[in-house]
């Protein structure tokens, strides 16, 4: 399980810079740099009206990942102990990225 910090506060799953999902998927099967990756689990919190009152932030979660050029990618699964998803103010998934991506 991977510890996740996420600053995409415009996502409905975000709470206190953590993610409330138990698993996410990171996309970017052709990625050569972090900006080629994005969080495929992003859902826009339109006008910021949704508040996640039922779920609590997960400190560790499963990260499936299509970025096979990353050193942490093991059989489409992230093996890093800690990753950061960036994209404050994102309006769509493509505005986010895995900032921990490291080319093999
Ligand atoms: S660190 Fe690498 S393997 Fe892990 S989610 Fe980010 S891009 Fe995918």
So what's the pLDDT on residue 59?
75
Query: For 47-99, what is each residue's pLDDT tens digit?
Result: 777 666 667 777 789 999 999 999 999 999 999 999 999 999 999 999 999 99
As for how many domains the chain has, the answer is 1
Which residue range forms the structural domain that includes residue 46? 2-98
Q: How far is the CA of 46 from the centre of ligand 1 (A)?
A: 27
Per-residue pLDDT tens for 3-14?
A: 999 999 999 999
Q: Establish if 104 belongs to a structural domain.
A: no
Q: Residue 55's pLDDT is what? A: 72
- Ligand 1 pocket, residues with Cβ under 6 angstroms: 26, 37, 63, 65, 67, 70, 72-73, 78, 80, 83, 98, 100-101
Instruction: Give the closest residue (by CA) to ligand 1 atom 4.
Output: 78
pLDDT at 56: 77
- The protein residue with its alpha carbon nearest to ligand 1, atom 7, reads 101
In a domain, 103, yes or no: no
Find tokens 């950061």 and name the residue: 84
What are the pLDDT digits (tens) for 31-47?
Answer: 999 999 999 999 998 87
Beta strands in the chain (DSSP E): 2-6, 14-15, 18-19, 23-27, 38-39, 60-65, 82-86, 97-98
């Amino acid at each position: 399980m991977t510890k996740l910090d996420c600053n995409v506060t415009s996502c409905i799953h975000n709470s206190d810079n953590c993610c409330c999902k138990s698993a996410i998927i990171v996309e970017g099967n052709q990625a050569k740099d972090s900006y080629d990756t994005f969080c495929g689990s992003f859902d826009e919190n339109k006008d910021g009206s949704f508040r996640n009152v039922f779920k609590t932030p997960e400190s560790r979660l499963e990260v499936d990942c299509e970025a096979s050029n990353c050193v942490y990618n093991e059989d489409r699964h992230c093996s890093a102990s800690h990753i950061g998803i960036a994209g404050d103010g994102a309006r769509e998934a493509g505005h986010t990225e895995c900032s921990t991506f490291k080319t093999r």
